[in-house]
Chains A and B, each alone.
Chain A
Amino acid sequence: MGPESLEAKQKAAIEEILKAYPEKAAKNREKHLGVGSPNDETQKTCGDVRSNKKTVPGVMSQRGCAYAGSKGVVWGPVKDMIHISHGPIGCGQYSRAGRRNYYIGVTGVDTFVTMNFSSDFQENNIVFGGDKKLGKCIDEIELLFPLNNGITVQSECPIGLIGDDIGAVAKTKAKEIDKTIVPVNCEGFRGVSQSLGHHIANDTVRDYVFDAKVNVDTSDVIATEYDVAIIGDYNIGGDAWSSRILLEEMGLRVVAQWSGDATLKEMALTPKVKLNLLHCYRSMNYISRHMEKEYGIPWIEYNFFGPSQTIKSLRKIAAFFDESIQAKCEEVIAKYQPMIDAVIAKYKPRLEGKTVMLFVGGLRPRHVIGAYEDLGMEVIGTGYEFAHDDDYKRTKEEIFRSTVIYDDVNEYELEAFVKKLQPDLVASGIKEKYVFQKMGLPYRQMHSWDYSGPYHGYDGFAIFAQDMDLAINSPVWAHSKAPWEQEG
């Protein structure tokens, strides 16, 4: 490694990377790259990076759009509603069943998450408008899928450009069929990333689930002192289930999951809970704040990745309730500790000192750092696709060492950072996966858990540890170099 410090190497890498850009782009990207240091109080955001700004054109950003944020993230997993991708055929097709939002139900009969409903716009719908077609789509859905508990209309780009009034259609049809119909103006050109789509979707939950009549019976659920809701867990690979089990074991009653394996009724029940538990702050802080303001429900952020953060979070949650919950919380922690000790004893020796670079979405660029560190691994770079300042502020609390921070990193930059900083593992998304595997680098997808998971909670951490070991210590990476290429 030589005498050069990690921080110096990271700073040099940024400087070098910026050289490839034309002047204007370099000036822009410079503000999105930085080096975060755990004890630097002078930094306003981690690494002092700027975020939530327009992507530089032409650079292969990894970002998605507002439609992806609404249909793909917030609304799509609500299982007993049908989500129409409203517009041309592509968006719904590319986003079909890609996020692994697990749910229980008879798909196509009473639940619909992995299906693709599209209004499949043709040229005449662009020219003459698509409102009539949308109305007909709703009629046909009602006829063929009578057990749906509601419909959302997820607007694709053209809707907002051709002046369609999906709100009016939704209003008329909702009256006609006596079900919730939610018009969502999440056109892909709105905002700079998925993020605005989350916000727009949150606002429509407020308007169409909380502030409007919802035709599902909630009267059978009598509120208790221990009611909580899980907010911002999309149940990827079953994450919400492996979280829920811990909350129930400590005596809380989880009334709703937002929105992995969620139903409309659970969402409608949420304004009566005692506490909202917010996992993905980025995508669901809006509705949490709204419930705090409107219904006086406090919310706290928690982190169920890795035992250190899980224990901290369990205690933080318990502290909100009475001593009986706090006592049970300690019992839960004690119950799982031997298993966790054994997991760490097994995997830490195989992973200790291995370095990791992350690039993910909502909460994971900071939330998973602790899980890696619990295994003795060292996160040396992280960044978000669509974060805001408040995410980068929170990141400051999570890093353990000098960490290169890259906001909205593009293909070129991530590749260059990896080449310069030489991590032992890269953890990001599907689009980047094979770039790094080609280089012979172990890789894990951290959006989909690479078709494994869950990673939340104690049981999830055991899987996480096993998967990281699988990736880093697989014999396949050693095959990249042919024997005739190896030195002496």
Chain B
Amino acid sequence: MQEVEKIVNGKDLFKRPEYQDVLANKKQFESSMLAINPARVAEVQAWTESWDYREKNLAREAITVNPAKACQPLGAVMVALGFEGTMPYVHGSHGCVAYFRSYFTRHFKEPTPCVSDSMTEDAAVFGGLVNMKEGLKNCAAVYKPKMIAVSTTCMAEVIGDDLMAFIIAAKEEDKGEFLPEEYPIPYAHTPSFVGSHITGYDNMMHGIMSQLTEGQKGETKQRINIIPGFETYIGSLRSVKTIVEAFGTDYIMLGDHSDQWDMPAGQYEMFQGGTKLDDARDCINSSATISLQKYATSKTMKMVEKRWKHKGGFSNPVGLKGTDEFVMKLAELTGTEVPQKLKVERGRLVDAMQDSYPYMHGKKFAIWGDPDFLIGAVSFLLEMGAEPTHVLCHNAPKGWEEEMRAMLDTSPAKDSLNVWAEKDLWHMRSLLFTEPVDFMIGNSYGKELMRDTGTPLIYIGFPIFDRHHLHRYSISGYDGALNLLTWITNKVLDQLDEDTKGIATTDYFFDLIR
């Protein structure tokens, strides 16, 4: 029973003898093996850690277990929330939207506005035109967004709804009451059975950029477009802007959700910040476009390079080398020297790397995440002399595996470094048992791997549900690399303390100064 002066929640409550009795007593009715035959559980558990299991696990062809990817519309929602006053609108069932909103909200600890047009069984039979007509009207009337960005769920894609025709029909029927002719409603088809959330990001970004710029082509301006990609670090967006601003150049960040998912307390406004719609319309007239995530923007950048003929290309400013390349690209595009401010920042980062290198050098890491994140983060590990033993990308697009392999091949430890494209986190579990590492870098889904294998987890990635505020920091630019360095080094030191804290046994290495 609770003691009123020390009320405890489930964490400690269920450790009490009366609850331990309840749990033990329950076992007589259970069919779980732990209740019937704990020895058999131990036996199978040990087998899941073996090479035999690893081989069988890696041979899986059909079932995905503990994935490290999500579906297209999630990425589309992120794009929409990066534009001024824009409501993400998902054509399909509202269950999906409840999931997208929860998923982002649990990561950012911020509200995530998004509507659906609540298609049900009759829409599955007759198509979702009626839902679209009513949904756009209601959304415009109630939330008064400046733009509505429409994407789709798999339901709408399977029945083959035609977004462009539906949007035109909705505007026609509305006769300008809530949806005037010029009201921007860009759209993208985002089937969840193709690619992953980064594909959806690409499709929606392509949709907004191509549709908003229709008929806007004019004189080219000395200005750089920046497309961040599926960026879940709010601080990264700010770091990138600070770097570009240091060059004194005009720029447009296309899809800037840094204010939307980082609202100050005090009052609630549904939409904050984002790329100005006028800027988005004019982005076709910039002289260059740089995408910070190659694999999350391939379709968009194809349009920008082939049709718009923009200079720029890809540059991934994560880690020292990545940031150097980004800075040099900006210097080249603007025809200016690297600003003093950035030179100092770089110097400070390198200084910090040289202070901390002994702790990362030679340490083995397992890491997973989105393809572009991995390119940057693995580059940084290599810059520090660490060994990325397992690099796993569940949503690896074509070409990624080769690029990652080439990077790993620059390491003296290259023969023990592995790339795992299109594998999931249950594969990772096997690998951590058969070819163990010192640390893991990944999202919250690594938590069970940490419990099962005992490998310490450094939380970097998306989603992070069970640690607070990391997403507010930057992992891009020189300051972002400093954050990576700090998080990783201090986790190594925490672990060193953990391993040496045995009183009168190992604490001779429990150093005060390091």
Contact = CB atoms under 8 A, between A and B. Distances in A.
Interface of A: 20-22, 24-25, 54-68, 79-80, 84, 87-96, 98, 102, 104-111, 114-123, 125-126, 133-134, 136-137, 139-141, 143-144, 146-147, 149, 156-158, 160-162, 188-192, 194, 216, 220-221, 237-238, 241-242, 244-245, 248, 254-257, 261, 263-266, 269, 335-336, 339, 342-343, 346, 410-412, 415, 429-440, 452-454, 458-459, 462-463, 465-466, 479-481
Contacts of A65: 93-96, 98
A141 to B, nearest CB: 6
B242 interface: no
B172 to A, nearest CB: 16
Nearest to B28: A221
A89 B191 contact: no
Interface string B399-432: 0000000000000000000000000001001000
A396 to B, nearest CB: 28
Contact of A91 (B60, B99, B106, B119): B99
Nearest to A462: B2
Interface string B130-172: 0110111111011100000000011100110000000000000
B196 to A, nearest CB: 7
Interface stretch (B70-78, B244-252, B356-364, B494-502): B70-78
A241 B14 contact: yes
B34 A106 contact: yes
Contacts of A237: 9-10
Given A189-B119, A241-B23, A434 B103 contact: no
B265 A437 contact: yes
A125 to B, nearest CB: 7
A144 B1 contact: no
Contacts of B142: 20-21, 25, 58-59, 410, 412
Contacts of B159: 161
B134 A56 contact: yes
Contacts of B265: 437-438, 440, 479-480
Contacts of A265: 29-31
Contact of B10 (A84, A254, A453): A453
Contacts of A102: 10
B115 A111 contact: no
B192 interface: yes
B96 A462 contact: no
A188 B95 contact: yes
B267 interface: yes
A434 B111 contact: yes
A438 B138 contact: no
A188 B426 CA distance: 27
25 contacts: A21-B142, A22-B141, A60-B114, A65-B93, A65-B98, A91-B99, A93-B69, A106-B41, A119-B62, A121-B154, A190-B120, A190-B121, A191-B120, A220-B28, A248-B25, A263-B35, A265-B29, A342-B4, A411-B113, A412-B143, A434-B105, A434-B109, A459-B13, A463-B8, A480-B266
A61 B118 contact: yes
B448 A90 contact: no
A269 B94 CA distance: 36
B44 A189 contact: no
Nearest to B91: A57
A80 B32 contact: yes
B124 interface: yes
A123 B199 CA distance: 14
A90 B29 contact: no
A238 B30 contact: no
A454 B10 contact: yes
Contacts of A343: 2, 4, 7
A466 B100 contact: no
Contact of B155 (A89, A157, A481): A157
A98 to B, nearest CB: 7
B51 interface: no
A261 B61 CA distance: 30
* B64, B69, B92, B105 — most chain A CB neighbours (10 Å): B64
- Size range of the chain B interface in the assembly: 35 or more
Q: Please list the 3 inter-chain residue pairs (A to B) with the smallest Cβ-Cβ separation, ordered nearest first.
A: A65-B95, A90-B71, A265-B31
A111 B7 contact: no
B45 interface: yes
B303 interface: no
B217 to A, nearest CB: 33
A266 B103 CA distance: 32
Given A60-B114, A265-B31, A480-B266, A161 B158 contact: yes
B123 A438 contact: no
A58 B18 contact: no
Contact of A140 (B40, B60, B139): B60
Given A434-B105, A481-B266, A458 B2 contact: yes
B344 interface: no
A339 B2 contact: yes
B267 A245 contact: no
A147 B36 CA distance: 11
A263 B268 contact: no
Given A255-B29, A431-B112, A157 B99 contact: no
Given A54-B120, A119-B63, A120-B64, A244 B95 contact: no
A221 B276 CA distance: 68
Contacts of A191: 120-121
Interface in B48-65: 48, 53, 56-57, 60-65
Contact of A90 (B74, B115, B131): B74
Contacts of A220: 28
Contacts of A479: 265
Contacts of B153: 157
* A62, A118, A144, A439 — most chain B CB neighbours (10 Å): A144
A257 B158 CA distance: 38
Nearest to A197: B95
B385 to A, nearest CB: 34
B63 A84 contact: yes
Given A98-B106, A108-B48, A111-B34, 15 more contacts: A21-B138, A22-B141, A59-B139, A63-B98, A89-B192, A108-B426, A110-B44, A137-B63, A146-B44, A157-B93, A190-B120, A248-B25, A343-B4, A411-B113, A438-B111
A88 B193 contact: yes
A438 B41 CA distance: 47
B67 interface: yes
A238 B13 contact: yes
B106 A430 contact: yes
B117 interface: yes
A105 B63 contact: no
A145 to B, nearest CB: 9
Given A60-B113, A90-B74, A141-B63, A158 B193 contact: yes
A138 to B, nearest CB: 8
Contacts of A146: 44
B64 A118 contact: yes
B31 to A, nearest CB: 3
B67 A118 contact: yes
Contact of B134 (A58, A117, A118, A432): A58
A93 B70 contact: yes
A61 B44 contact: no
A392 B23 CA distance: 35
B103 A94 contact: yes
B158 A162 contact: yes
Contact of A58 (B69, B113, B117): B117
A431 B40 contact: no
